Amino acid sequence: MPISKSDKNLSPADQGEINVQESLSHRDQRHIWHPLTQHKISKEMLAIVKARGSILYDENGKEYIDGIASWYTCMYGHCNPDITGKVAAQMQQLDQVVFSGFTHEPAVKLSEALIPLLPANQEKLFFSDNGSTATEIGVKMALQYHHNLGNDRKVMLAFEDGFHGDTFGAMSVSGLSVYNGPFEEHFIEVVRIPVPTGKNNEQVLRKLESLLKEHKIAGFIYEPLVQGAAAMKMHDAEGLNEILKLCKRHEVICVADEVMTGFGKTGKNFASEYLSVQPDVMCLSKALTAGLLPMAITSCSQKVYDGFYSDEIAKGLFHGHTYSANPLACTAALAGIELLTSKAIQQDIQRVIASHRNFKNKIKDHPKVKNIRTLGVIIAFELDVKMERYGDMRNRLYKYFMDSGVFLRPLGNTIYILAPFTISASELEKIYASIEAVLVEF
Amino acid sequence: MPISKSDKNLSPADQGEINVQESLSHRDQRHIWHPLTQHKISKEMLAIVKARGSILYDENGKEYIDGIASWYTCMYGHCNPDITGKVAAQMQQLDQVVFSGFTHEPAVKLSEALIPLLPANQEKLFFSDNGSTATEIGVKMALQYHHNLGNDRKVMLAFEDGFHGDTFGAMSVSGLSVYNGPFEEHFIEVVRIPVPTGKNNEQVLRKLESLLKEHKIAGFIYEPLVQGAAAMKMHDAEGLNEILKLCKRHEVICVADEVMTGFGKTGKNFASEYLSVQPDVMCLSKALTAGLLPMAITSCSQKVYDGFYSDEIAKGLFHGHTYSANPLACTAALAGIELLTSKAIQQDIQRVIASHRNFKNKIKDHPKVKNIRTLGVIIAFELDVKMERYGDMRNRLYKYFMDSGVFLRPLGNTIYILAPFTISASELEKIYASIEAVLVEF
């Protein structure tokens, strides 16, 4: 039984007393419903009380190396003073202001720093608060662009096994929808193609051609080169280029979801830089704000923007969130970009890439290592042992890593590392050692 | 023509030089696409460089009283050191950690402070990042609750002119959908009732009865007592009670969207406290984080939670955002609740209520003042002069206030005040004076 109902009737004094004696993990169970969690099966959440660099500290003093950079966000390390100092200063100056009718320096400076970093055709930034809203806005840009032009196009194209978020629009385009059952009847119409593997490129293009004939496709949303939630599945750049070319030829708005891949993780600033065909729209979040607080940006080309620029008010994009372009989040993002483009971080990225390459060579022929792959600071492989995505075996694997002081979060039988760029060589070695131990123990 | 394309080809030196000479308002136009804005009509955004208490300062040194608390967020004043100090300290300790499998003190403490403040039946908190995601989660809770119970209910009920956000699920339930044209075909099925006015209560109930017979309704989402985006339209508490009773009798999950009304603005902590029937689910954001940074919470009763609590993983709510329950945002929220429940702020609220009451009495019989209404610190009336919501007249009105050093944001011909609780008497007087001047000038 979850502890919850009863305690509300305790006197405040009793409750205070309980709180002093109880662990955070236990107190947590009273009133918090965690994301992506079936609480009857996962009762206890680990309480983290401190984070510094690549290390998380739990309430019992145990340390964990943050091997996935807290969901690919804190790429410059936790509580990095180069970032927190600037945000603390901004908090003294301007905390928040409506972003309709107003602007502010952190947003302007961020736009001036981010635009030169993005593919050359990206010209405008539309702010929101998380990856789901960034992709919702991308989908709305694609649909309304054609609506504004008088084109009858209402279908979205997406990859099988793509993941783009959890709001209704974002769920619609996600192909990875194990748990979307209760909502599927309410989705936008989406048609799908497999990712290009290099081997199937021609078939994928043939399928796309027939879909383009059968459906009135407004936009194509895709995670370029790496599908994160699909367990760091990587696909073929040349195949993706051909898909994008065909889409562009048919005036399909190409929306690159770089929420996971953005900001240096693939070894380039954005995965789209590996491609010769530039996206019309890009979705950014996660590492955008350097792991400090939530924000997202949907960028677009002048062509997309011009599709909304009109004397008719109704042709504008009437989307807005209260804290859009929050000055603190913009400040964190600007500090993050300054770090990303610094010599030190660029050297860190190359160091991690080289380190992963060595580790890959070391384990690639191990009988339990299947399909090992790297791109930038991402390294992933399938543990060749039968298990289900959220099954007991996966949970034992997770526990094994945590017991070893390493926070890795296997996706089914896929083990991957996506650590902060600033992770030290010895911390990386500890992660590798825990993986090698798994290859023995499992 | 928007200035954008050309400047990208300037050398960095040229760009640097331009930046030094240019105003922020002008630099803003190059790369930023603002929310809810048709840029061809609204070219120039006002650059705010500083905020303190109830005052915004623009880049030319002009001051504006923030008469809408930056969209009802910074109710304790801008850059309040009681809040910023705590967030700055938290930034040194723990910036961010995955909230699946982990927890942390700011979230636990926030849950322990917030639950006792909410209606007695609210037991669990589900975190997200903004009002749209809070309502998406509310809708998903209603739909999946019935799905998990094996009930075939897929229709949502909502008020005409309700507003619940801009993502696809949130747009679906919003009745106020002037600019939803390009997306409407993709919406969840929603049936609607008018708000109860006191005069139409019986008709509304009859309509609801017939809708309940004709449709398989899973949930009812409503802004209790005040519909913000519908221009601070207020409705009848007794009528709403009757609607909620009827919904509950039919096992319809009642989702109170208190994103705007929450945290003291109505004179009680939550508008739902004016009602005898408690909601099953509540959506919170905006003032939740005291105007510092984005966060949202969807709370629910034990009954709703239990509908997801199961040995079956698939019956869980598989929704999650990367920065869910961000420790900095939780810290801001906790600081905000401490202020809200302080004697000083409670006195401020009563002071503003009394002040508004006097002002209402002063202008209520003016021939241009129509339908003046107050609830808590909200005061609104219609300027009885013909104009359109986003028309030229509304913009002249907006400009008139701004020229007077008062940031009010008329919704069509509705003028309203929703200032920080901490606004001073003289600042309030200045807002009132600007409204009285409008009654003369317009």
Q: In this predicted model, what pLDDT tens digit does every residue of B271-297 receive, in sequence order?
A: 999 999 999 999 999 999 999 999 999
What is the C-alpha to C-alpha distance for residues B212 and A350, in angstroms, rounded to an integer? Answer: 62
| Nearest-CA distance A11 → chain B (Å) | 11
Per CB-CB distance under 8 Å, the chain B contacts of A39 are 308-309, 316
Sheet hosting strand A414-417, strand order edge to edge? A369-375, A378-383, A414-417
- Residues A309, B95: C-beta atoms closer than 8 Å: no
What is the C-alpha to C-alpha distance for residues A217 and A214, in angstroms, rounded to an integer? Answer: 9
Is residue A227 within 8 A of residue A161, CB to CB? The reply is yes
The whole-number pLDDT of residue A181 equals 74
Paired sense of beta strands A406-407 and A63-66, if any: parallel
- The CATH classification of domain B23-79+343-441, taken from the options 3.40.190.290, 3.20.20.140, 3.90.1150.10, 3.40.50.10260: 3.90.1150.10
Indicate the SS3 state at residue B405: coil
- Residues B295, A295: C-beta atoms closer than 8 Å: no
Of the candidates B31, B139, B295, the beta carbon closest to that of A115 is on: B31
The whole-number pLDDT of residue B392 equals 80
The whole-number pLDDT of residue A21 equals 80
Of the candidates A41, A48, A179, the beta carbon closest to that of B318 is on: A179
* A437 pLDDT above the threshold of 60: yes
Per CB-CB distance under 8 Å, the chain A contacts of B41 are 311, 313
The whole-number pLDDT of residue A391 equals 59
Of the candidates A36, A40, A128, the beta carbon closest to that of B311 is on: A40
Mutate to test the interface with B, among A6, A56, A137, A186 (most CBs of B within 10 A): A186
Mean pLDDT, chain B, integer: 93
| Nearest-CA distance A82 → chain B (Å) | 12
What is the C-alpha to C-alpha distance for residues B427 and B439, in angstroms, rounded to an integer? Answer: 19
| Secondary structure element (H or E) that encloses residue A334, with its range | helix A327-340
| Secondary structure element (H or E) that encloses residue B21, with its range | helix B12-21
Sheet hosting strand A281-284, strand order edge to edge? A190-193, A155-159, A217-222, A253-257, A281-284, A296-301, A122-128, B32-33
Q: Kindly report which listed range (A116-130, B181-195, B405-419) carries the lowest average pLDDT score.
A: B181-195
| Nearest-CA distance B223 → chain A (Å) | 17
| Nearest-CA distance B218 → chain A (Å) | 12
Q: Which of B1, B40, B7, B26 is nearest to A308 (CA)?
A: B40
Residues of CATH 3.40.640.10 domain(s) within chain A? 94-340
Of the candidates B51, B292, B321, the beta carbon closest to that of A35 is on: B321
Q: Which amino acid is at B131?
A: G
Of the candidates B31, B94, B295, the beta carbon closest to that of A123 is on: B31
Bridge partners for B317 per DSSP: A37
For the segment B325-361, what is each residue's pLDDT rounded down to a tens digit? 999 999 999 999 999 999 999 999 999 999 999 999 9
What is the C-alpha to C-alpha distance for residues A185 and A183, in angstroms, rounded to an integer? Answer: 6
Mean pLDDT, chain A, integer: 93
* B15 pLDDT above the threshold of 50: no
ipTM of the prediction greater than 0.90, yes or no:
yes
* B172 pLDDT above the threshold of 70: yes
| Nearest-CA distance A381 → chain B (Å) | 22
Under the banding of pLDDT at 50, 70 and 90, the label for residue B181 is: confident
Calculate mean pLDDT across residues A213-224: 98
Sheet hosting strand B414-417, strand order edge to edge? B369-375, B378-383, B414-417
Under the banding of pLDDT at 50, 70 and 90, the label for residue A135 is: very high
* B18 pLDDT above the threshold of 60: no
- Residues A292, B91: C-beta atoms closer than 8 Å: yes
- Residues B37, A101: C-beta atoms closer than 8 Å: yes
- Residues A95, B51: C-beta atoms closer than 8 Å: yes
Mutate to test the interface with A, among B97, B289, B337, B411 (most CBs of A within 10 A): B97
Under the banding of pLDDT at 50, 70 and 90, the label for residue B180 is: confident
Q: Kindly report which listed range (A104-108, A174-178, A426-430, B26-30) carries the lowest average pLDDT score.
A: A174-178
The runs of H, that is alpha helices, within A250-326 are 302-306
Calculate mean pLDDT across residues B34-52: 96
What is the C-alpha to C-alpha distance for residues B434 and B424, in angstroms, rounded to an integer? Answer: 16
**CATH domain B94-340 topology:** Aspartate Aminotransferase; domain 2 (3.40.640)
The whole-number pLDDT of residue B327 equals 98
Indicate the SS3 state at residue A103: strand
Under the banding of pLDDT at 50, 70 and 90, the label for residue A300 is: very high
The whole-number pLDDT of residue A184 equals 81
Per CB-CB distance under 8 Å, the chain A contacts of B19 are 112
3-state helix, strand, coil in chain B (%, to 5): 45, 20, 40
- Residues B103, A46: C-beta atoms closer than 8 Å: yes
Is residue A124 within 8 A of residue B33, CB to CB? The reply is yes
Calculate mean pLDDT across residues B366-370: 97
Q: What percent of chain A has pLDDT over 70?
A: 93
For the segment A267-277, what is each residue's pLDDT rounded down to a tens digit? 999 999 999 99
Calculate mean pLDDT across residues B89-105: 98
What is the C-alpha to C-alpha distance for residues A290 and B96, in angstroms, rounded to an integer? Answer: 10
How many CB atoms within 10 Å of residue B399? 10
Per CB-CB distance under 8 Å, the chain A contacts of B116 are 8
Mutate to test the interface with A, among B3, B27, B33, B261 (most CBs of A within 10 A): B33
| Nearest-CA distance A227 → chain B (Å) | 16
- Residues A328, B300: C-beta atoms closer than 8 Å: no
What is the C-alpha to C-alpha distance for residues A293 and B227, in angstroms, rounded to an integer? Answer: 29
The whole-number pLDDT of residue A387 equals 58
| Nearest-CA distance A60 → chain B (Å) | 13
* B321 pLDDT above the threshold of 70: yes
* B140 pLDDT above the threshold of 90: yes
Of the candidates A41, A123, A318, the beta carbon closest to that of B313 is on: A41
* B420 pLDDT above the threshold of 90: yes
- Residues B328, A188: C-beta atoms closer than 8 Å: no
Per CB-CB distance under 8 Å, the chain A contacts of B101 are 34, 37, 42, 45-46, 398, 409
- Residues B36, A316: C-beta atoms closer than 8 Å: yes
- Residues B84, A92: C-beta atoms closer than 8 Å: yes
Of the candidates B34, B72, B180, the beta carbon closest to that of A99 is on: B34
Per CB-CB distance under 8 Å, the chain A contacts of B166 are 136, 318-321
Segments of A145-295 assigned E as strands: 155-159, 190-193, 217-222, 226-227, 233-234, 253-257, 281-284
Q: Which residue on chain A is closest to B303 by alpha carbon?
A: A5
Indicate the SS3 state at residue A424: coil
How many angstroms separate the Cα of A213 from the Cα of each of A139, A209, A210, A344? 21, 6, 5, 50
Residues of CATH 3.90.1150.10 domain(s) within chain A? 23-79+343-441
Query: What is the value of pTM for the model shown?
Result: 0.95
Bridge partners for A367 per DSSP: none
Ramachandran angles phi, psi of B423, nearest 5°: -60, 140
Calculate mean pLDDT across residues A237-256: 98
Interface A-B, measured as beta-carbon pairs within 8 A, has a size of 444
Is residue A307 within 8 A of residue A145, CB to CB? The reply is yes
Of the candidates A4, A147, A315, the beta carbon closest to that of B123 is on: A4
Q: Kindly report which listed range (A283-287, A352-356, B314-318) carries the lowest average pLDDT score.
A: B314-318
Calculate mean pLDDT across residues B209-223: 98
Q: Which of A138, A131, A127 is nearest to A165 (CA)?
A: A131
| Nearest-CA distance A186 → chain B (Å) | 5
Q: What percent of chain A has pLDDT over 90?
A: 89
Under the banding of pLDDT at 50, 70 and 90, the label for residue B390 is: low
The whole-number pLDDT of residue A385 equals 85
Q: Which of A327, A289, A315, A317 is nearest to A99 (CA)?
A: A327
